[in-house]
Amino acid sequence: MTRLATHKVGAWLWVSDGQITIISGKVDIGQRISTALMLIVQEELTLNTALMSVAPVQTDRAPDEGITSGSKSIEDTGAVVRQAAATLRQAARALLPQNGALWALQNGQFCSPDGTQKIDILDLITKLDPQLPIDAAAAFLPRDYGAASPFMRDLDQMVRGRFCYLPDIDVPNMQHARLVRPPHSHARLGAIELQILAKMVEEKVQVVRDGSFLAVVSPDEWAVETAAKRVARACTWVSDKTLEIKDIFESLTENNAKKIRVIDGIPDPKAPLVALKDLPYRARFEKPYLAHGSLAPSAAFAHWSQMGLKLCSHSQGIYPLRASIAQSLGLALEQVQITHVPSSGCYGHNGADDAAMDAALIAKHCPNVPILLKWTRQDEQQWEPFGSAMVVELGMALDPDQKISDFHAQVYSDTHRGRPRPDGAQGGPARLLANRLRADPLAPYVPLLNMNPQGGMHRNIDPIYQIGQKIIVKNLVQDLPLRTSAVRCLGGGANMFAIESLMDEVARDQGVDPLAFRRAQLHDLRSLAVLDALKTELSTRPTPSGQMPGRGMAFGQYKNKMTRTAISVDIDLREDGQILLKDVIIVADAGRIIDRDGLAAQLEGGFLQGASWALYEEVSWSAQGLLSQDWDSYPVIRFDNIPEMKLVLLEPSDAPSVGAGEATPGPAIAAIANALFDATGLRLRRLPFRPDRVLKAALGD
């Protein structure tokens, strides 16, 4: 909200020709932020959404809002847009003839007390100075609970196949590009057979090379697709090193690490690294590397001309990306313009930024030719920055009243912060993949400890429960084999899986109902209300049935300050070790609800992503490269394992809206693990719970 004081209404809301345009620096990544912003303006101005649009996010037009991440858009941007809209309404009312305060506002029109006069709010707003400062005291309209009906911006275009995603860009004279990537990150391009290069010239396919960065370009997309494969076969790669294949969970706890205590969710360099004593309950949890696995492989559009470099990217942070690309190519900031164009959902920092740099580099070699670069599925699965593998070691002790007296945690992980950021120490160019391949390669960026509250691997490692004494240490582990960055929830997914599994374990060992056990460790009334609502919902359900049925629950509050979520999952275990998801209940409190349907979609979608991590997903590799390269070798959840889902949304009055996009994955994993225990008595602590692992655990090895 610091921006509020320095910003004018016109920076966020712009009225012309009877239309209101919302200008925001937050981008749509499948999370429906544009829809939510429109609904906020609808609430404050009582305007139909048909009279609104959301401006494309472009580096030279939109406010620099950094990166769209961390479920913060609703809290940050949503709050400013609401304040700006309320300011406009207040100022418009002041322009009313007389007794302005008595005029009613409905459907975008002010109506005089005697009902004889009507004035469009947009007509009044047009008369206002866009330089009007946002008034932090402008009051919001009282909540109209009946108002919002399900609405999703552009959905009508999507169901008709008319919505333009980045890979659909098609402009005159455009050429298509594909990459030829090395087999793994240590390999360097030795030679390319001359014959194939001659062939390419003959076929009018341009080969772009900068060190080990290699791409092919042609006006015909299919030609370029096949050319990339042929060129790949004609390349010799050399390497003095291969990928480390030692067990990743051993590497995580054995490699050198930067260690720091975390106090109340914040890393504290002054807190001493005390030795941890053995607590009665101890467990170690493991999460593999995860891929974002966006449905559309990353892509970018680039056009290099005298006017400078124009890019279209589906990056979550077009400003830092612009600075990083400008610096990489020796351009002035003003010479690079990036427009955000949506692609498929990204769930974090996927290949978008790297693809933009790749396309920029290709365009530099093909001046004046518009270039559309697409990564292939295999490029995406092998080269996107992954969510780090993690180890979480926990310890817990209870006092005689079954209250948690001690909690210890050691979390081990690579960085969750690999986005290009231009400022010196943060490493902009070094975090763009192409710069590690070019003739003068940059060394991989060595990450620093993330010191932010609830940042990176320590997100949600501090339990939300009342606990006597906590000792939490995070370990930023070095020299790990794969490149990592932000995936939905960062460390929160693994941490919530670990904490909520152990909570379950302790409760059952104590012979206490897991929900009641959690309840006893909480004071926060809203958390208690969430748990009680789950209990009420569960009381209406029969016990789960099936071959080997089980029910598990988990609770969490994202970043210990955002959406509170309680989840119950019923599963059935098949003889072949497959876990079938049956019935799911999600209770959530995300504060004031702006887009009820969008909130539900985020909670459901988050659950299914967590379930997919729990059951299927794992990046795998050999010394010679990635083994998970497509949807067969990197399986994910599909329609054949989608449970029945019931959502219960609590909305305490006057609670501010908080983000919910990352609230459910962590509790989802834990609830499934706990249901598996309920069904079998088996405690699986390594993700994913593949059938072979379940069977192995059942056989006792």
Partner 1 sequence: MRMALRVNGQTHQIDCADDTPLLYILRNHLKLKGTKLGCGLEQCGACAVLVGGKVQLSCAALAADFLGQEIVTIEGVEALPLGQKVQAAFLDQTAAQCGYCTSGLVVAVTGLLSQDPQADQAKIKDGLKGHLCRCGSHPRVLRAVQQVVAQS
Interface with partner 1 by CB under 8 A: which residues? 28-32, 150, 152, 154-156, 158-165, 167-168, 170, 220-223, 225-226, 293-297, 342-345, 347, 374, 376-377, 597-598, 601-602, 604-609, 630-632, 636-640, 642, 644-645
CB of 584 to partner 1, least distance (A): 9
- If the CB atoms of residues 264 and 644 are measured against partner 1, the closer one turns out to be 644
Q: Are 630 and 378 in contact (CB under 8 A)?
A: yes
Q: What are the strands of the beta sheet with 564-573, ordered from one edge? A: 549-557, 564-573, 579-589, 644-650
Crossing angle of helices 492-509/596-615, nearest 10°? 80
The least distance separating partner 1 from the CB of residue 599, rounded to whole angstroms, comes to: 11
Closer residue to ligand FES in complex, CB, 345/422: 345
In the complex, the smallest distance separating the C-beta of residue 288 from partner 1, rounded to whole angstroms, is 18
Dihedral class, residue 449 (left if φ above 0, else alpha if ψ from -120 to 50, else beta): beta
- Chosen residue from 102, 155, 295, 446 binding ligand FES by CB under 6 A: 295
Collect contacts of 424-429 with beta carbons under 8 A, ≥24 apart. 428/320, 428/323, 428/324, 428/327, 428/328, 429/324, 429/327, 429/328
Q: Is 696 exposed, middle or buried (0-12, 13-18, 19+ CB in 10 A)?
A: middle
Dist. CA 323–CA 337, nearest whole Å: 10
Cα distances (Å, whole numbers) of residue 42 to 34, 57, 135, 590, 592:
12, 21, 18, 20, 15
State which of positions 316-375 bind ligand FES (CB under 6 A): 344-345
3-state secondary structure of 388: coil
Tell me the C-alpha distance between 527 and 129, whole Å: 44
Query: What does 588 bind: ligand FES, partner 1, none (CB cut-off 5 to 8 Å by kind)?
Result: none
Binding partner of residue 31 among partner 1, ligand FES, none, CB under 5 to 8 Å per kind? partner 1
Q: What is the nearest approach in angstroms of ligand FES to the Cβ of residue 67?
A: 20
Shortest distance (Å) from residue 293 CB to partner 1: 6
Identify which of residues 94 and 295 has a Cβ nearer to ligand FES in the complex. Answer: 295
Taking every pair of Cα atoms in the chain, the longest distance, rounded to a whole number of angstroms, is 86
399 or 644: CB nearest partner 1 = 644
Q: Is 541 or 561 the residue whose CB approaches partner 1 more closely?
A: 541
Which positions ≥6 away from 240 have C-beta within 8 Å? 186
Residues near 384 by beta carbon (within 8 Å), at least 6 away in sequence? 291, 292, 298, 350, 351, 354
Using the minimum distance from each CB to ligand FES, give the nearer residue, 83 or 344: 344
- CB of 182 or CB of 345, closer to ligand FES: 345
- Rounded to a whole number of angstroms, the minimum distance from the CB of residue 542 to partner 1 is 19
List of residues 6+ apart from 640 with CB closer than 8 A: none
Beta carbon of residue 344, minimum distance to ligand FES (angstroms, whole number): 5
Q: How far is the CB of 569 from partner 1 (least distance, A)?
A: 14
**Judged by CB under 6 A, does residue 10 bind ligand FES?**
no
Run of H or E including 520: helix 514-520
* Terminal-residue alpha carbon distance, the chain: 54
CA distance 424 to 699: 53
The nearest distance, CB 502 to ligand FES, in angstroms, is 33
Q: State phi, psi for 13 to the nearest 5 degrees.
A: -130, 135
Q: What values do phi and psi take at 436, rounded to 5?
A: -85, -10
Choosing among partner 1, ligand FES, none, which partner's interface includes residue 459 (Cβ < 5 to 8 Å by kind)? none
* Interacting partner of 513 out of partner 1, ligand FES, none (Cβ under 5 to 8 A depending on kind): none
Choose the contact partner of 147 out of partner 1, ligand FES, none; CB within 5 to 8 A by kind.
none
Binding-site residue total for ligand FES (CB under 6 A)?
4
For partner 1, give the closer residue by CB, 56 or 308: 56
Q: How far is the CB of 251 from ligand FES (least distance, A)?
A: 33
Half-sphere exposure of 606 (CA within 13 A, CB side): 31
- Select from 488, 501, 463 the least CA-distant residue to 664: 488
Residue 196 or 599 having the CB closest to ligand FES: 599
CB of 443 to partner 1, least distance (A): 32
Nearest to 664 by CA among 652, 651, 648: 648
Is 429 or 492 the residue whose CB approaches partner 1 more closely?
492
CA 382/CA 350 separation, integer angstroms: 11
Of partner 1, ligand FES, none, which one does residue 164 interact with (CB within 5 to 8 Å by kind)? Answer: partner 1
From the CB of residue 653, how many other CB atoms can be counted at a distance below 10 Å?
6
Closest Cα partner for 38 from 10, 13, 8?
A: 13
Judged by beta carbon distances under 5 to 8 A according to partner kind, the member of partner 1, ligand FES, none in contact with residue 263 is none
Among ligand FES, partner 1, none, the one that 701 touches (CB under a kind-dependent 5 to 8 A) is: none
Given the complex with partner 1, which of 175 and 527 has the nearer CB atom?
A: 175
What's the min distance (Å) between Cβ of 169 and partner 1?
Answer: 9
Helices (H), 56-144: 73, 79-94, 121-126
Torsion angles phi and psi, residue 509, rounded to 5: -65, -35
Could you tell which of ligand FES, partner 1, none binds residue 123, using a CB distance below 5 to 8 A set by kind?
A: none
Residue 376 contacts which entry, ligand FES, partner 1, none (Cβ below 5-8 A, type-dependent): partner 1
Minimum distance from residue 115 beta carbon to partner 1 (Å): 36
Q: Which is nearer to ligand FES, 345 or 606 (CB)?
A: 345
Name which of residues 126 to 185 contact ligand FES (CB under 6 A): none
DSSP H helical segments within 111-193, as ranges? 121-126, 155-159
Residue 115 Cβ vs ligand FES, minimum distance, rounded to whole Å: 46
609 binds, among ligand FES, partner 1, none (CB under 5 to 8 A by kind): partner 1
Binds ligand FES by CB under 6 A, chosen from 3, 8, 14, 30 = 30
Nearer to ligand FES, 345 or 591 (CB): 345
Question: Collapsing DSSP states into helix, strand and coil, what is residue 201?
Answer: helix
Nearer CB in complex with ligand FES: 420/661: 661
The binding site for ligand FES (CB under 6 A) comprises 30, 295, 344-345
